[in-house]
């Protein structure tokens, strides 16, 4: 498919370009265009074949609903079965603007647009190019972000071109968007409005307008695969750069910077390309890796505006590992962290003061069968906790494929007993959902085991391979079927890694 790109000045709109784009929408084609939030990929929202083209172009799962964009407030009554007084008040205050409202849908709204749901998402954008395109097309335009599914949302036409050239009919290049993160999504089908996706319109702003507003618990983490998302971005991995992104958080930005410097130094020594997301205030603290400022903490609208641009810039630079400061607090902190956590796959390192008591109340070491590696790590950590008089931390080990209870591997038992570790009465245990709570951290031996835990268990907030947490590359492989010396090496390696884990948990350095 040939993709035509046309530059359009938002302050002096080329009506010929808009008319051409409108005709493409009318005939069922695809047009990417700027909104005040991010660039959207538009098609006729009431034509199921056109909506299907959006999913195909993006590689987007078909149960991920689309937002329909309108150019007049009164058009919502053509799409929504019922519009409450609360919804009308919200529309009067926040439309046009970055607020999407969820209504029960009219029969004429196809399931292909709503992801099979009985509800429809509607927004009235404030960007002049978006408004003129909707008007020129004479259609209600369904438009998710104009990027390949899972990648960072586009805030420049260049981002759209990189992802969708050859997949869409036209791209309207209106320059940089102003906000940089997607709209707030608010469900107004019930008595109390519920935020399904945080955005520029905050919970506090909504409550000032209409009173009580709730937040959907699913925002805190990923939905399971058997649950339909109520709004765009609730279920599937979003915003992810090509490199592995990790958020490093802590109360002291100096200690956060030192932690990132330490990690980056190790990665660079191994020949890896490392990117660091800093702010205008903290950029000078970093001495390793490629540092990009995302904006100023004094004005978090700059952080929101630059988030996806920075992630895409690291992609263009070929960064293999990216480490970012955390951006909790502030007006947009919740919305920014929602995107950043999804982009990182909820991969977070917590930095604590050197004198703080270990706060995690449970550490679970996990391997495949729980007969060797994870148990070696458990007893090693238990000894360290006892030696350091830390009594309020529970340490355990579990397996991912424990078909029946069995004792520790005989060769592992010989090594453990030789070093004074307990093995009497030990039996292997299967990891269960009940083992996982908000206070636990899971450390696996391999990447495959980590992925299996993330795929098969819910509410996994803190999970790493043990070498990843110790700022090392590689995995702790199973010595099964090898010689006693290999089991001895495995135990020694795990003792060393557990020591580094303890240092990091307490906020120190190796």
Cα-Cα-Cα-Cα torsion 349, 354, 358, 360, nearest 10 degrees, comes to: -10
405-408 own/partner pairs: CB under 8 Å, 24+ apart: 405/429, 406/371, 407/371, 408/371, 408/372, 408/375
**Would you say domain 4-220 falls under CATH 3.90.870.10?**
yes
pLDDT surpassing 60 at residue 355: no
For residue 322, give the H/E element and its range: strand 321-325
Q: How many H helices and E strands in the chain?
A: 15, 20
Q: Which two tokens stand for residue 257?
A: 């910077």
Query: CA–CA separation, 137 vs 170, rounded Å?
Result: 14
pLDDT band at 353 (very low <50, low <70, confident <90, very high): low
Query: CA–CA separation, 104 vs 118, rounded Å?
Result: 6
Q: What is the CATH number of domain 362-505?
A: 3.40.50.2300
Listed by start position, the domains of the chain span 4-220, 244-350, 362-505
pLDDT surpassing 80 at residue 317: yes
The pLDDT tens digits of the residues spanning 438-482 come to 668 999 999 999 999 988 998 887 888 999 888 788 999 999 999
pLDDT surpassing 70 at residue 510: no
Helices (H), 169-235: 203-210
The pLDDT tens digits of the residues spanning 194-248 come to 999 999 999 999 999 999 999 998 775 544 434 344 555 544 456 789 999 999 9
Q: What is the pLDDT of residue 234?
A: 46
* pLDDT average, residue stretch 48-68: 92
The pLDDT tens digits of the residues spanning 83-132 come to 999 999 999 999 999 999 999 999 999 999 999 999 999 999 999 999 99
Task: Give yes or no for a contact between 445 and 373, defined as CB atoms under 8 angstroms apart.
Answer: yes
Q: What is the pLDDT of residue 237?
A: 53
Task: Give yes or no for a contact between 444 and 362, defined as CB atoms under 8 angstroms apart.
Answer: no
Query: Which residues share a beta bridge with 100?
Result: 123, 185
* pLDDT average, residue stretch 424-433: 94
Q: What is the pLDDT of residue 354?
A: 45
For 80, which DSSP code?
B
Q: What is the pLDDT of residue 507?
A: 59
Question: Mean pLDDT across the chain, nearest whole number?
Answer: 91
pLDDT band at 493 (very low <50, low <70, confident <90, very high): very high
Q: Give the residue among 160, 163, 120, 122 at the shortest CA–CA distance from 33.
A: 160
Question: Are 4-220 and 244-350 the same fold in CATH?
Answer: no
The pLDDT tens digits of the residues spanning 254-309 come to 999 999 998 998 889 889 999 999 999 999 999 999 999 999 999 999 999 999 99
332-335 own/partner pairs: CB under 8 Å, 24+ apart: 332/181, 332/200, 332/202, 332/300, 332/301, 332/303, 332/304, 333/300, 334/198, 334/202, 334/203, 335/181, 335/184, 335/198, 335/199, 335/200, 335/202, 335/304
Q: Which two tokens stand for residue 365?
A: 């070491």
pTM, two decimal places: 0.73
CATH topology classification for 244-350: Rossmann fold (3.40.50)
Q: What is the pLDDT of residue 61?
A: 81
Query: CA–CA separation, 293 vs 306, rounded Å?
Result: 9
Query: What does residue 406 show for φ and ψ, rounded to 5 degrees?
Result: -150, 155
Q: What is the pLDDT of residue 509?
A: 42
| Pairing mode, strands 141-142 and 39-44 | antiparallel
Residue 441 three-state SS: strand
* pLDDT average, residue stretch 186-195: 96
Half-sphere exposure of 402 (CA within 13 A, CB side): 22
Query: CA–CA separation, 126 vs 37, rounded Å?
Result: 9
């Amino acid at each position: 498919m040939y993709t035509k790109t046309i530059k359009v000045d938002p302050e002096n709109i080329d009506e010929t370009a808009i008319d051409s784009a409108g005709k493409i929408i009318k005939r069922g084609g695809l047009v990417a265009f700027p909104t005040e939030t991010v660039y959207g990929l538009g098609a006729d929202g009431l034509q199921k074949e056109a909506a299907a083209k959006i999913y195909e172009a993006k590689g987007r799962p078909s149960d991920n609903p689309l937002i329909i964009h309108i150019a007049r407030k009164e058009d919502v009554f053509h799409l929504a079965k019922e519009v409450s007084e609360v919804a009308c008040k919200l529309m009067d205050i926040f439309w046009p603007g970055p607020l999407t409202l969820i209504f029960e849908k009219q029969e004429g709204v196809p399931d292909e647009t709503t992801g099979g749901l009985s509800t429809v998402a509607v927004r009235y954008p404030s960007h002049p190019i978006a408004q003129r395109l909707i008007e020129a097309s004479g259609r209600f335009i369904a438009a998710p972000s104009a990027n390949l599914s899972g990648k960072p949302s586009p805030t420049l036409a260049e981002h759209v071109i990189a992802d969708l050239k050859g997949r869409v009919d036209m791209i309207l290049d209106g320059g940089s968007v102003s906000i940089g993160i997607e709209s707030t999504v608010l469900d107004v089908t019930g008595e109390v409005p519920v935020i399904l996706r945080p955005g520029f319109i905050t919970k506090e702003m909504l409550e000032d307008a209409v009173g009580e507003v709730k937040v959907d618990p699913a925002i805190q983490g990923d939905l399971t695969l058997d649950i339909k998302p109520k709004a765009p971005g609730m279920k599937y991995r979003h915003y992810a750069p090509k490199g592995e992104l990790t958020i490093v958080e802590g109360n002291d930005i100096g200690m956060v910077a030192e932690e990132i410097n330490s990690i980056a130094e190790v990665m660079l020594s191994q020949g890896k390309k490392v990117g660091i997301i800093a702010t205008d205030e903290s950029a000078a603290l970093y001495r390793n890796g490629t540092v990009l400022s995302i904006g100023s903490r004094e004005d978090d609208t700059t952080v929101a505006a630059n988030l996806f641009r920075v992630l895409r810039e690291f992609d263009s630079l070929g960064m293999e590992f990216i480490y970012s400061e955390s951006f909790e607090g502030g007006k947009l902190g919740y919305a920014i962290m929602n995107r950043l956590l999804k982009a990182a796959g909820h991969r977070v390192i917590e930095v604590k003061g050197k004198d703080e008591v270990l706060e995690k109340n449970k550490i679970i070491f996990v391997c495949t069968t729980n007969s060797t590696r994870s148990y070696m790590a458990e007893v090693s950590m238990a000894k360290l906790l006892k030696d350091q008089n830390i009594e309020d931390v529970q340490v355990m080990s579990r397996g991912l494929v424990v078909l029946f209870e069995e004792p520790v591997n005989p060769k592992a038992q010989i090594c453990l007993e030789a070093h004074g570790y307990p093995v009497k009465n030990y039996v292997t245990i299967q990891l269960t959902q009940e083992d996982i709570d908000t206070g636990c951290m899971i450390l696996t031996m391999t990447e495959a085991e980590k992925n299996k835990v993330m795929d098969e268990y819910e509410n996994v907030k803190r999970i790493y391979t043990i070498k990843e947490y110790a700022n090392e590359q590689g995995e702790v492989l199973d010595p099964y079927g090898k010689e006693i010396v290999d089991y001895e090496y495995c135990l020694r390696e795990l003792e060393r890694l557990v020591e580094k884990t303890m240092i990091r948990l307490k906020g120190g350095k190796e």
